[in-house]
Amino acid sequence: MMNLLVAVMFVAGFMAVAHAHPIVRKARWFALCFLFGMAEPVANLCVWLGAPEQAMRLVGFTAFLIGLVGISLALSHYYGRKPMWKVAAAIVLAGFTYRLLSLGAPRDDLMHLLAFQGWYALGSALCAYTTRRHATPSPLNSMLYLLFLLWMVHFPLKAFGALYLGNGQTESEYSSTLYAVISQTTSGVLMIAGGLVILIGLLQEVVHNTQQQANSDALTGLPIGVRSTSGSTHRRPTTGMNRSPSR
């Protein structure tokens, strides 16, 4: 429930930023990613309430993988670069196929657990690669890159945690295990950290754009104090940043 509420808040936050500031309308793509991510805790909740276990496991896994890989596409779109659609589609389709064929696999088999978490690790690796390749070098983007690397390492480690602590014989038993608490908490914290860094980056762009508008002439777009070819000095009208002088 906590991860679900966090996802809802990020969806609302990204949508609010995109609506309030046209300069970062691309934030809607991140909202869509977190919307897909909501499906995983919703699927777990549905199983706990008595929904078909196999169907919910497949839906939760696939939707979360789409949301994770989608962050890579959203980052490329935000940075104005060509998203790696083919790679993203290959990861999602291969992950979906594996999950469909492994629904009856033993829950305490290490190779299955590593393969299960491996698809999430691949999605995280794609996000890290996208950030390194497409993002403008900055301390914030370096932090985001390191977070994605941490995501990538975190998922395979969960496989060993599931084997050591036990993840229940069925999906219904999973929610009452210690592993479920640790798994959901660590994943939630990392997702919150990543979402916050992305959101901070969007807000930084809003602030930077606002500062540029405040320091430029509303009519000519020239910086305040720059002289035109006629020798006159352009200054911002006192009636407001986006208003024309009174006639």
Residue-wise pLDDT tens digits, 229-238: 444 444 443 3
Closest CA to 92 of 61, 117, 113, 132: 61
> Does 3.40.50 match the CATH number of domain 2-212?
no
Domain boundaries of the chain, sorted by first residue: 2-212
Angle at 3 between CA 149 and CA 103, to 5 degrees: 75
The token pair that represents 79 in the structure block: 């940075």
Q: Amino acid identity of 144?
A: L
Helix residue spans in the chain (DSSP H): 2-20, 27-37, 39-48, 53-78, 85-101, 110-134, 139-165, 171-174, 178-214
**β-strand partners of 227:** 233
Q: What's this model's pTM, rounded to 2 decimal places?
A: 0.80
CB 128 within 8 A of CB 87: no
State the pLDDT at residue 156.
Answer: 94
Query: What span, in angstroms and rounded, lies between the C-alpha atoms of 102 and 112?
Result: 8
- The conformational region for residue 53 under phi > 0 = left, psi -120 to 50 = alpha, else beta, is alpha
Burial of 65 (0-12, 13-18, 19+ CB in 10 A): buried
> What pLDDT tens digit does each residue of the chain (247 aa) get?
777 788 888 888 888 888 888 778 888 999 999 999 888 878 877 877 778 888 888 998 999 999 999 999 999 998 889 999 999 999 999 999 999 999 888 888 899 999 999 999 999 999 999 999 998 889 999 999 999 999 999 999 999 998 888 887 777 777 778 888 888 888 889 989 999 999 998 888 888 777 776 665 555 555 565 444 444 444 443 333 343 333 3
Contact indicator for 37, 45 with CB cutoff of 8 Å:
no
Quote the Cα angle for 81-86-90, to 5°.
Answer: 140
For the chain, the residue count is 247
Q: Please check whether residue 118 is in contact with residue 102, taking contact to mean a CB–CB distance below 8 angstroms.
A: no
